[in-house]
Copies of this chain bind each other. A is one copy, B any other.
Amino acid sequence: MNYLLLSRLVGIVCLLIGGSMVFSLPWAHPALSNRTLAAPLPNEHVEWAGVLGLLGSMAICGMVGGTLWWTGRAARGPLYRKEAMAVVGLSWVLATIFGGLPYYLSGTMVAEQRPITIIEALFESQSGFSTTGATVLTDLENPDLVPYCILFWRSSTHFLGGLGIVVLFVAILGQGSAGKAMMRAEMPGPTKEGSMPRMQHTALVFAAIYIGLNIVLSAIYRLEGMTGFDAICHAFATMATGGFSTYNLSLGAFNSPLIEYTTIVFMVLAGTNFTLLYLTAVGQPMRLLRDVEFQTYIGIIVVVTIGIMFFGMRYGDPHFGDATEALRFGLFQVVSILTTTGYGTADFDVWNNFGRGALLLLMFIGGCAGSTGGGMKVIRHVLFYKILRLEIEQAHHPRVRRLLRVGGQPVEDPDLTRNILVYFCLILAIFIASWMLLITFEPDTTWGVARDDTGELTLITPTAPTEAHAVEIEREMIRSMLGEKLLDSASAVAATLNNVGPGLGVVGGTRNYAGFSQGAKLWFVWLMMLGRVEVFSILVLIFPVFWRRH
Contacts and interface: CB of A to CB of B under 8 A. Distances in A.
Interface of A: 81-82, 85, 307, 311, 315-316, 353-354, 356-358, 360-361, 384, 387-388, 391-393, 395-398, 415, 417-418, 421-422, 424-426, 428-429, 432, 435-436, 439-440, 451, 455, 467-470, 472-473, 476-477, 479-480, 482-487, 536, 539-540, 543, 545-546
A354 B469 contact: no
Among all A-B residue pairs, the 7 with the closest Cβ atoms: A469-B469, A480-B480, A476-B476, A316-B455, A421-B421, A357-B439, A395-B536
Given A396-B81, A396-B540, A421-B422, A353 B388 contact: no
Nearest to A487: B487
Contacts of A426: 388, 391-392
B436 A361 contact: yes
Contacts of A540: 392-393, 395-396
A469 B356 CA distance: 29
Contact of A396 (B85, B307, B476): B85
Taking the full assembly, how many copies of this chain does it contain?
A: 2
A100 to B, nearest CB: 27
Given A82-B396, A388-B429, 12 more contacts: A316-B455, A354-B440, A357-B439, A361-B436, A393-B543, A395-B536, A396-B546, A468-B468, A473-B473, A476-B477, A476-B479, A487-B487
Given A421-B421, A480-B479, A439 B353 contact: yes
Nearest to A504: B486
Contacts of A392: 426, 536, 539-540, 543
The listed residue with most B CB atoms (<10 A of its CB), out of A360, A468, A483, A485, is A483
A526 to B, nearest CB: 15
Contacts of A477: 476
B353 A485 contact: yes
Nearest to A427: B428
Main secondary structure of the interface of A (DSSP, over half): helix
B480 A483 contact: yes
A260 B543 CA distance: 45
A483 B486 contact: no
Nearest to A357: B439
A545 to B, nearest CB: 7
A388 B422 CA distance: 7
A376 B214 CA distance: 48
A353 B490 CA distance: 12
A279 to B, nearest CB: 29
Contacts of A472: 469, 473
10 contacts: A85-B396, A353-B439, A391-B422, A392-B540, A396-B540, A421-B422, A424-B425, A476-B476, A476-B480, A480-B483
Contact of A469 (B357, B417, B467, B543): B467
